[in-house]
Structure 1
Amino acid sequence: MRRHQAIKDSFLENRIFLSRTVVLFILMLLLISGLIARLIYLQVAGHSRYHGMATNNRIKVTSVPPTRGIIYDKNGLILAENLPSYSLEIIPEQIDDMDDTLLRLQLALAIPEEKIESFKKHRKRYKHFDSIPLLMQLSNTDVARFAVLRHTFPGVDIHARLIRHYPYAELTAHVVGYVGRINEQEIKVIPAAEYRSIHTIGKIGVERAYEDVLRGHAGYSEIETNAQGKPINELGKIEPIPGADVYLTLDVALQKVAYDALAEYNGAVVALDLETGGVLVQVSKASFNPNLFVSGISHTDYNALNSSKNKPLFDRVLRGQYPPGSTLKPFIGLAGLEYKITNMHQTLFCPGYYQLPNKSHKYRDWKKWGHGKVNSDIAITQSCDVYFYDLSLALGIDKISSFLHKFGFGQRTGIDLKGEKSGLLPSREWKRVNREQAWFQGETLITGIGQGFTQVTPLQLARATATLAKQGQIVTPYIAERIIDEGREIEVKHPAQKNIQLKPKNVQDIIGAMVHVVHSPRGTAKRIAKGIDYQIAGKTGTAQVYTVKQDEEYNEQDIAFNMRDHALFIAFAPANNPKIAVAVIAEHGSHGSSVAAPIAAAVIKQYLAEKSGLLDEYPAKQSRKHE
């Protein structure tokens, strides 16, 4: 059988081959062009970006924390300082199994579970190459124990840090404040770049109010690393700028006198320098140790403070609101003179109670058998309630509210600290808006003796007392006197002083009556005048914690301690040339004369002794006597 062979088409085959060759050539040109374009982009157009990325793989830029500024009292004593300490820190990017590392550390160093949980929560705000503290203030034992195990914990190391310390602890806790770990709410509002390497922030007091000044500015360090990310060499460094130092008006020695004089009582003492408005004393008691908060307070310690019946975390000076009691009477008396409702010679008979016309209810005087015939001077000297019931009714709530407002009642003082309360100055309009009720005459009466709706803070009461001492020159308290930044003083602006228009004779008459409170044989605070050769102008007060019914009698011995009246006293001295004004509130102290007045006297005597170069010490406690 004969086979037939197909005839080849050479031309067609050559054409197909040539077409495929051209296509492949074009494809090769395109690929080569793309490669050339990519090389040009990488080496020219994208040079900066990829050079930076390569550099970042080799060089780590880390923040360097600044040194926090020091806080001093007016005499240069340190109230807040930085002490060297060791902290156990972790760099997450150098750890393969974080949970395993934390578990082994916990077992090796007996780390509380709450510290582990706190670390997990706080690490979210840091970058993976940041060094994040797990434990602060390590003991020498812990440092030695970890040193033995260090080779088994890559990415974990001990660093020397400066940690905040408060040498006076409870004595200055509320006014100086403290720093603590930055929380989630604070993270949302603080400048992230400034706090990259800073783990704490001012929480209360001066530490919070002057955070921006005290904090300083972070620096940066460029560290060369190997392929495993371990540091090899420091290539460059921008030094951090330390925080400025803050000098306060506070006199810590005088602060201790006031704190100790309060003795077993909780309460507040505020003293103002009448020449400047600076706060000399700002005591809130009960208090706490602020050093507990610096590196993270334990749940046990915090719960103990938070649940204490003494409320040590509560700042009574700025946030405590109390009825002013009879300490309001000099201001009501001055209102009566200014509005010409009464004069210093006009008298009234006090039978021990007061009744509104056609009313059976008796508004009692603290002296149940009465004071007899009294005028304005005697009424302030002996703290006659009946006189001020009658005067308040004649004034009316509108005049009372308007006049007291001029002295700063019902308003924040404007001190350079945060968290201040404004107290409460009642008025006809206030009650209508807040209680949806009309104002009653009986409420005017009790307002005139510092009871009812009226609420004041100790700082507010001290400011009003200082303004009276300065005869109407409004004193705005402040705490920061000077700020020193790298040897250069930064100006601290204090509010301009304003004046209340008052008749000098009226003010002098009221001050004269307040002098009689201390120096008259029948004055309610006569016992504190012993041993001084100058005059103190003062006013005692008691503030009811609960209301005694009409048919009941107040018997201090039968009442639980926490239901007893608060004891108050306001004063300034010397009366003829005032240098210092003081306000004292002793919670459940019952009597302003025997409890609060000696506390104020201890502060005044110590301060004026220091001013005159004397070194005498004066007793802080004296025998009890009713207001």
Structure 2
Amino acid sequence: MSFTVIIIIVCVAVAAALIAVFLVFGRSETNFKFDIGGNGPKASGGSDTSAETTTQGRLVGQAAVTGGIFAVLLGKLWSMQLLSSDEYAQQAESNRTRTVSVPAPRGRILDRNGKEIVTNRSSLTVLAEADVANDDIELTLIGNLIGMPALAVKRKVEDSSAGAQSMRSVAVDVSRRVVAFLGEHPTVFSGVSVAERTQRSYPYGSLAAHVVGYTGTVTSDQLNATDSSDEGAVHYSSGDTVGQSGVELQYESVLQGVAGEQTVYVDADGNVLDYSTYVEPRSGSDVVLTLDMDVQKAAEESIVKVAEYQQKAGYSATGACAIAIDCTNGEVIAMASYPTYSPSIFVGGISTSDWEALQSEDAHFPLMNRAISGQYPSGSIIKSLTTLAALSYGIATASSSWYCTGWWTGFGKDYGMKCWWTSGHGEVNLVTGITYSCDVVFYEIGKGFFYDKDNPEGMQDTFKKFGLGSLTGIDLPSEAEGRVPDAEWKWNYWSSATEQQRTWQGGDNCNLAIGQGDLLVTCMQMVDAYAGIANRGPIYKPHVLKSVKSATGSGTVIDYNPEVIINTDEDSANLDIVDEGLSGVVYQESPTQTAHWTNLDVAVRGKTGTAEQTSVGEPVGWFMAFVPAENPKYAVGANMDRVLSGASSAMYVVRDIIGAIYGQPDDVSYDTTNVDR
């Protein structure tokens, strides 16, 4: 309403009020009479209660009320038009406009040398307006054009998760032929358009899939999390693409860009009539990882190759993992898990059948990152820590020795336990016990702790001191903490068993000493533990983030600072004994093993391990190492499920990884019959 109209209304109201007053006062007779004789006026009588006077009074009251009403109306009209006009204009505008979110490109994921592990690519996407869902003919034509059933197209168009007014994504990565056909027939496909969007791209295919993770449509839990009032928290809208695992999830807050906005005009039914202002989206920040893709490639290729050799030898080899870290700062150089998957399968939405296949037990759970989530008995790789425990608590000394016949009866003949080398190792001590992995040595240590009244759980305390039984804190989701069993755990865990079965026995200690029984560890925990041995004390928190690049310029906004999470504080003389035993594993235990290490310029310390898995029926093979022996820089470990032994499986994977780090590949053929443990 214009200002001129307001003036006219005011004038009419004032005129009406004046007429009312005139009718009351201008035409009525006076209540006074004048004396011609010049005397002052006097009342003609007492109070006038005539009908005429009463009517006049009512008219006066009516005029006053009418004037008051007009005054209030005029005041409100003045307030609405002059004081609140902007507010009402905004409300009116909001009733006819809507804001549609425009997706922002996610930040890239790079390796330590700047190689693109995950990037973005342009994708031609067919979009449809919501009312297309009501046109069966158009749905059929769209389906025929892009090769999709009409019902599937309808479901895509009916999906309002991205917003009521948003265009619905029907198909991604359509061909130029489809684009041309749509452009040539605009009247046939009136509610359909093609837009250039970005999709995740994986130049290395499935390489490092478990580290980088995958993306998908925002879940209800993630949407609910957007209600958080935390400053800097990422806020999502329905239909947004977000990280669902790995680095994509862990660093979602920096990879996720800032969505743009498109303002559209709508009618009363919410249909889009026209487009207005547009705010460009801002892409997310690039994340630089500690991974070296050359080493990562060597690790994954080696696992596949060794698994195939094991399968030819009659073993299942259904799963494996490998990790290489810089033990001086915790940087993860490589992290592989087998079987793997391709993150690209999630681009544009994963089908139900593909998802079920990835979750299938028959497929051996390819989405699982075994390096941090797989929990296994450690087998003989634990013997380095068992030795340190024995030396620290006085259960054994550098001069202690035992005789191995292949059978041990330390708790009596009725409770005999065998050594893995059933013919016996003969005279052994702590060093040769590690080198030849003699179980008898460690049965004796387990027995010693069982009868030690002061420190009956010294082994458990040492294992925990090296990080077993707790999270390492690596910056990846879904890490498992493993388990270091003790008397209290057994009593509580076997709550339905008899008292004798629930009570901690000497055999439990012996099994724990050789990495069997109820002990569970992850590959990440054991690599960290061997990093502590290599560093002779400090263990750094493992991490895959190196830095976050600035959105503008070439600088960084975040640089990861290494953090010591454990200082094992072991006696140097005790570590010397362990180091000597680990050297013997690599260079003395078996000529078959040694041949794979003497062709390397740097000296290596390592330990084989083979753990029985009663629930599976086939062992898990391990190998842990650090290099160079004199001034360790890298700790490397691997395991392979359902194989003959660690020496015939995981050891080869670790050798290939170290070969990739130093540019010295292994030129000796594999021997899958090697049973050294």
TM-score (norm 2): 0.80
Distance in 2 separating the partners of 1:580 and 1:592: 20
2:567 maps to which residue? Answer: 499
Q: In structure 2, do the counterparts of structure 1 residues 300 and 198 end up closer, same or farther at CA, with 3 Å as the change threshold?
A: closer
1:111 maps to which residue? Answer: 148
Q: Offset at 1:621?
A: 5.3
Q: Offset at 1:188?
A: 1.7
Q: Which has the larger radius of gyration?
A: 2
Q: In structure 2, do the counterparts of structure 1 residues 99 and 333 end up closer, same or farther at CA, with 3 Å as the change threshold?
A: farther
1:51 maps to which residue? Answer: 89
2:11 maps to which residue? Answer: none
Distance in 2 separating the partners of 1:621 and 1:417: 35
Cα shift readout 1:14-61 (whole Å, capped 9, x = no counterpart):
999999999997897687557535533431343123211333356554
Distance in 1 separating the partners of 2:101 and 2:518: 53
Q: In structure 2, do the counterparts of structure 1 residues 248 and 96 end up closer, same or farther at CA, with 3 Å as the change threshold?
A: closer
Moved more, 589-598 or 486-495: 486-495
Q: Do the aligned residues in 1 keep the contact of 2:118 with 2:201 (CA within 8 Å)? A: yes
Letter in 2 for 1:69: G
Find the partner of 2:671 among 607, 623, 626. Answer: 623
Find the partner of 1:430 among 475, 480, 489. Answer: 489
Alignment of 1:34-433 (within 5 A): 36-37=74-75, 39-56=77-94, 60-92=98-130, 97=134, 105-106=142-143, 109-111=146-148, 113=151, 116-117=154-155, 120=158, 123-124=160-161, 126-190=162-226, 194-196=235-237, 199-222=240-263, 229-231=272-274, 234=277, 237-263=278-304, 264=307, 265=317, 266-307=319-360, 308-396=362-450, 398-433=457-492
Cα shift readout 1:220-268 (whole Å, capped 9, x = no counterpart):
345678998433554xx54433211111011111111111111234210
Q: Do the aligned residues in 1 keep the contact of 2:165 with 2:272 (CA within 8 Å)? A: no
Cα shift readout 1:289-339 (whole Å, capped 9, x = no counterpart):
111112101112222222233221121112110100001011101111122
Letter in 2 for 1:260: E
Q: In structure 2, do the counterparts of structure 1 residues 456 and 520 end up closer, same or farther at CA, with 3 Å as the change threshold?
A: same
Q: Do the aligned residues in 2 keep the contact of 1:249 with 1:278 (CA within 8 Å)? A: yes
Find the partner of 1:580 among 634, 639, 645. Answer: 634
**Counterpart secondary structure, 1:312:** coil
1:550 maps to which residue? Answer: none
Distance in 2 separating the partners of 1:591 and 1:51: 78
Q: In structure 2, do the counterparts of structure 1 residues 217 and 493 end up closer, same or farther at CA, with 3 Å as the change threshold?
A: farther
Distance in 1 separating the partners of 2:138 and 2:301: 49
**Counterpart secondary structure, 1:269:** strand
Q: Do the aligned residues in 2 keep the contact of 1:61 with 1:222 (CA within 8 Å)? A: yes
Q: Offset at 1:369?
A: 0.9
Distance in 1 separating the partners of 2:214 and 2:479: 17
Find the partner of 2:557 among 473, 480, 490. Answer: 490
**Counterpart secondary structure, 2:323:** strand
Q: Offset at 1:103?
A: 6.2
Distance in 1 separating the partners of 2:601 and 2:98: 70
Cα shift readout 1:378-402 (whole Å, capped 9, x = no counterpart):
1111111111111121123511101
Distance in 2 separating the partners of 1:303 and 1:594: 33
Q: Offset at 1:345?
A: 2.8
Distance in 2 separating the partners of 1:156 and 1:101: 9
Query: 1:457 aligned to 2:522?
Result: yes
2:623 maps to which residue? Answer: 569
Distance in 2 separating the partners of 1:257 and 1:197: 40
Q: Offset at 1:472?
A: 1.6
**Counterpart secondary structure, 1:66:** coil
2:13 maps to which residue? Answer: none
**Counterpart secondary structure, 2:415:** coil
User: Any unmatched runs of 5+ in structure 2?
Assistant: 1-49, 229-233, 308-316, 451-455, 496-501
User: Any unmatched runs of 5+ in structure 1?
Assistant: 1-11, 548-561, 610-615
Distance in 2 separating the partners of 1:316 and 1:116: 40
Q: Offset at 1:408?
A: 0.3
Cα shift readout 1:392-441 (whole Å, capped 9, x = no counterpart):
21123511101110000001101111110101111112212322321111
Moved more, 514-523 or 32-41: 32-41
Distance in 2 separating the partners of 1:416 and 1:343: 39
Distance in 2 separating the partners of 1:587 and 1:475: 27
Q: Do the aligned residues in 1 keep the contact of 2:142 with 2:153 (CA within 8 Å)? A: no
**Counterpart secondary structure, 2:480:** coil
Letter in 2 for 1:47: S
Distance in 2 separating the partners of 1:141 and 1:298: 25
TM-score (norm 1): 0.86
Q: How many residues align?
A: 591
Q: Do the aligned residues in 2 keep the contact of 1:566 with 1:591 (CA within 8 Å)? A: yes
Distance in 2 separating the partners of 1:252 and 1:416: 18
How big is the alpha-carbon RMSD for the aligned residues of Structure 1 and Structure 2?
Answer: 3.1
Q: Do the aligned residues in 2 keep the contact of 1:59 with 1:225 (CA within 8 Å)? A: yes
Q: In structure 2, do the counterparts of structure 1 residues 116 and 315 end up closer, same or farther at CA, with 3 Å as the change threshold?
A: farther
Q: In structure 2, do the counterparts of structure 1 residues 100 and 457 end up closer, same or farther at CA, with 3 Å as the change threshold?
A: farther
**Counterpart secondary structure, 1:310:** coil
Distance in 2 separating the partners of 1:599 and 1:256: 12
Distance in 1 separating the partners of 2:398 and 2:592: 19
Q: Do the aligned residues in 2 keep the contact of 1:324 with 1:541 (CA within 8 Å)? A: yes
Query: 1:607 aligned to 2:661?
Result: yes
**Counterpart secondary structure, 2:475:** coil
Distance in 1 separating the partners of 2:144 and 2:594: 65
Letter in 2 for 1:590: L
Letter in 2 for 1:289: S
Distance in 2 separating the partners of 1:232 and 1:244: 29
Distance in 2 separating the partners of 1:78 and 1:458: 27
2:612 maps to which residue? Answer: 544
Identity of aligned residues (%): 29
2:10 maps to which residue? Answer: none
Q: In structure 2, do the counterparts of structure 1 residues 72 and 130 end up closer, same or farther at CA, with 3 Å as the change threshold?
A: same
Cα shift readout 1:490-534 (whole Å, capped 9, x = no counterpart):
233443454122111110210111011011154783232231232
2:532 maps to which residue? Answer: 467
Distance in 2 separating the partners of 1:232 and 1:188: 30
Q: Do the aligned residues in 2 keep the contact of 1:598 with 1:621 (CA within 8 Å)? A: no
Q: Do the aligned residues in 2 keep the contact of 1:91 with 1:128 (CA within 8 Å)? A: no
Q: Do the aligned residues in 2 keep the contact of 1:381 with 1:524 (CA within 8 Å)? A: no
Letter in 2 for 1:288: Y
Q: Do the aligned residues in 2 keep the contact of 1:319 with 1:419 (CA within 8 Å)? A: yes
Q: In structure 2, do the counterparts of structure 1 residues 25 and 95 end up closer, same or farther at CA, with 3 Å as the change threshold?
A: farther
